[in-house]
């Protein structure tokens, strides 16, 4: 492990927030509303709470092995062969995640701003731009997340504040009326809207003060949970449950409804898209970096930069496979979620359990 690349806990918090928010904030309000109606905020809250154990497990792994990075720990604990199998799954997950994020950006940009620009041009331009930071080391990735973090917070606060004048909070009623049998499905949907915290696996070994990393990681999760709940509440109060359920991207639809006093900006779409690209960049950059880093470990190369450009056409091709929004939101999301569960939840839990047992035996 190269010890010269250090990341502060504030940067870790910003990185985790920026990576998670880019995934769920667009469509989660409508998706959860279709399952749990007015009680969607309950599913969002419980989904966030259920991610706490996995964040704790990731932090515990590095408490067991404080002087090793994730790849060294995995090989020592699971054996190189078994760990490499998990790494392949992890690689497929981050490639699929990067492709999904890219395709979402393409669809949003075409609908809200660049309606005549070919999807291929938008996709390749975004991937090329992201490849620049993906070639960097983890300290640069951390600083990027740290600087994108206040933009995300400001973006969320802006949406909430400008939506209040048109909000009808009676649309939040009735509460606690959803079918109890649908709650697990709602929790599952919201649970995967928080994926992105797996960047901790690659970041914690380089933390300046590892004893405080868990605190900042949980703070990041709490911030994202609060943002998701507030955006859901504002979207529901603005549209009502039936109209919200028909929205593809209610968060962006909220912005389309904004009417600023004085009309000093006639069309906010361009401004919003500029901020939105930065938000998506905060998810895409770490995912792209992770793919390069995993390949570097699998092929035992000195640097991950060798794989960034070869990954570009792969991400590009995969991002354009879905034919429409239905395939993106159903099939592609399901595949990403399955790989996320395998490569994050199962892998992290298995490494911790086996590592804990080995440490206990060594100390006996």
Span 317-326, average pLDDT: 88
Question: Is 40 inside any structural domain?
Answer: yes
d(CA 77, CA 188): 30
Question: Is 268 inside any structural domain?
Answer: yes
Question: Is 182 inside any structural domain?
Answer: yes
Question: Is 1 inside any structural domain?
Answer: no
> Which pLDDT score is estimated for 166?
82
Residues spanned by the domain of 245: 9-363
Question: Is 3 inside any structural domain?
Answer: no
Please say if the pLDDT value at position 1 is more than 60.
Answer: no
CA atoms within 13 A on the CB side of 66: 6
Percent of the chain at pLDDT above 90?
Answer: 58
- CA nearest to 129, candidates 315, 268, 306: 315
Whole-number CA gyration radius for the chain: 20
Least confident of 1-5, 73-77, 154-158: 1-5
Question: Is 44 inside any structural domain?
Answer: yes
Question: Is 2 inside any structural domain?
Answer: no
User: What confidence tens digit (pLDDT) does each residue in 144-195 have?
Assistant: 999 999 988 988 888 888 888 888 899 998 888 888 888 889 888 888 889 8
Count how many domains the chain has: 1
> Which residue's structure tokens are 């969320």?
156
CB proximity list for 191: less than 8 A, separation 6 or greater? 47, 50, 51
CATH of residue 226? 1.20.1740.10
Span 297-308, average pLDDT: 93
CA distances from 15 to 193, 198, 267, 279 (A): 16, 11, 30, 11
Question: Is 52 inside any structural domain?
Answer: yes
Please say if the pLDDT value at position 123 is more than 60.
Answer: yes
Q: Which residues of 167-195 are buried (b: 16+ CB within 10 A; e: fewer)?
A: beeebbeeeeebeeeebeebbebbbbbbb
């Amino acid at each position: 492990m190269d010890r010269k690349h250090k990341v502060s806990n504030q940067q870790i918090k910003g990185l985790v927030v920026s990576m998670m928010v880019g995934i769920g904030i667009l469509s989660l309000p409508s998706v959860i509303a279709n399952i749990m109606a007015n009680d969607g905020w309950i599913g969002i809250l419980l989904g966030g709470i259920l991610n706490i154990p996995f964040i704790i497990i990731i932090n515990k792994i590095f408490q067991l092995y404080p002087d090793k990075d994730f790849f060294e720990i995995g090989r020592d604990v699971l054996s190189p062969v078994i760990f490499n199998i998990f790494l392949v799954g992890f690689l497929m997950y981050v490639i699929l995640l990067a492709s999904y994020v890219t395709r979402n950006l393409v669809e949003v940009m075409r609908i809200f701003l660049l309606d005549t620009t070919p999807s291929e041009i938008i996709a390749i331009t975004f991937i090329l731009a992201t490849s620049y930071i993906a070639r960097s080391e983890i300290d640069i990735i951390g600083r990027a997340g740290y600087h994108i973090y206040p933009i995300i917070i400001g973006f969320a606060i802006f949406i909430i504040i400008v939506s209040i004048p048109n909000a009808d909070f009676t649309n939040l009623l009735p509460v606690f009326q959803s079918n109890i049998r649908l709650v697990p499905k709602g929790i599952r949907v919201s649970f995967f809207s928080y994926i992105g915290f797996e960047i901790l696996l690659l970041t914690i070994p380089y933390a300046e003060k590892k004893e405080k990393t868990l605190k900042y990681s949980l703070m990041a999760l709490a911030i994202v949970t609060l943002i998701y709940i507030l955006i859901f509440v504002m979207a529901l109060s603005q549209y009502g449950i039936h109209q919200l359920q028909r929205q593809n991207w209610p968060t962006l639809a909220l912005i389309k409804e904004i009417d600023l006093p004085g009309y000093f900006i006639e069309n906010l779409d361009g401004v919003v898209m500029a901020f939105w690209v930065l938000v998506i960049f905060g998810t895409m950059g770490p995912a792209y970096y992770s793919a390069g880093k995993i390949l570097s470990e699998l092929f035992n190369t000195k640097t991950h930069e060798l794989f960034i450009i070869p990954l570009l056409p792969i991400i590009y091709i995969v991002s354009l496979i879905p034919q429409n929004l239905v395939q993106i939101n159903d099939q592609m999301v399901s595949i990403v979620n399955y790989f996320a569960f395998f490569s994050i939840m199962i892998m992290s839990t298995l490494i911790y359990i086996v590592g804990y047992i080995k440490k206990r035996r060594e100390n006996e």
